[in-house]
Amino acid sequence: MTKLSVNINKIATLRNSRGGDTPNVVQFAKDVQRFGAEGVTIHPRPDERHIRYQDAYDLKPIVHTEYNIEGNPITKFVDMVLEIKPTQVTLVPDSIDALTSNAGWDTIKHKDFLVEVIAEFKRNNIRTSIFVDPDTKQIEGAKETGADRIELYTEGFADQYHLGNKEAIKPYAECAEIANKIGLGVNAGHDLSLDNIQFFKQNIPELLEVSIGHALISESLYLGIENVVNMYLNKLK
């Protein structure tokens, strides 16, 4: 079964919009795990507009499932990850002013940089994943960096699926097949939702993990977080 990792950035956004500590991100992480989520994902950015670096440390002792920290490997981020030693670090090339992640790595152009960063994480027994577009050359390039996994950037699929274009799954399936053949694990994330997750899962071979935040939290406003977590788990079986 594909693992569900819940991205809790939106909980931090809500907290920060009012000040104080409500909703509490640590308690929320405890709750989603209690409801069945198999991982917790955070994506701290340099301006700390949602998840703060301190949150990353506060979450470490209570995440008993998989702890996935995403981000651009600037020095501050790398130092934090090496201190916390999460289950997985997912490298994302987002710019400082990006509203949300909007592109995968050019694993060929940035190979030397990625090799250096990934080697440091692996020396510390941290599983590494690279955020990539559904491009076979980038998958092959990811293998050359020493990464353990890729995370397929799924916004393009989600947009097209919403328009009724199910053929949009094809490049993702092809990339997953290549990744599996060359020994890379396959994760996925961005704009996956209750509407499209089952179709995506059924068409991506050996999909190990999905990281879902914005849609899951939005759906929970109507349906309740415990219910929504279990709805995802059922669709991912």
Which residues carry out catalysis? 43, 70, 190
Paired residues of 40 in beta bridges? 6, 67
61 cis-preceded (ω within 30 degrees of 0): no
Quickly list DSSP for 178-221.
HHHHTT-EEEEESS--TTTHHHHHHHSTTEEEEEE-HHHHHHHH
CA 29 to each of CA 55, 67, 121, 144, 226: distance values in angstroms, whole numbers, following the listed order: 11, 10, 24, 34, 12
| Rounded-to-integer distance, Cα 55 and Cα 44, Å | 9
| Rounded-to-integer distance, Cα 55 and Cα 230, Å | 25
SS3 breakdown of the chain: % helix, strand, coil, rounded to 5? 45, 15, 35
Nearest to 43 by CA among 33, 51, 32, 54: 51
Q: Which residue has the tokens 């703060």?
A: 52
Show the CA angle centred on residue 41, arms to residues 4 and 192, nearest 5°: 50
Q: Which two three-digit tokens encode residue 149?
A: 């996994």
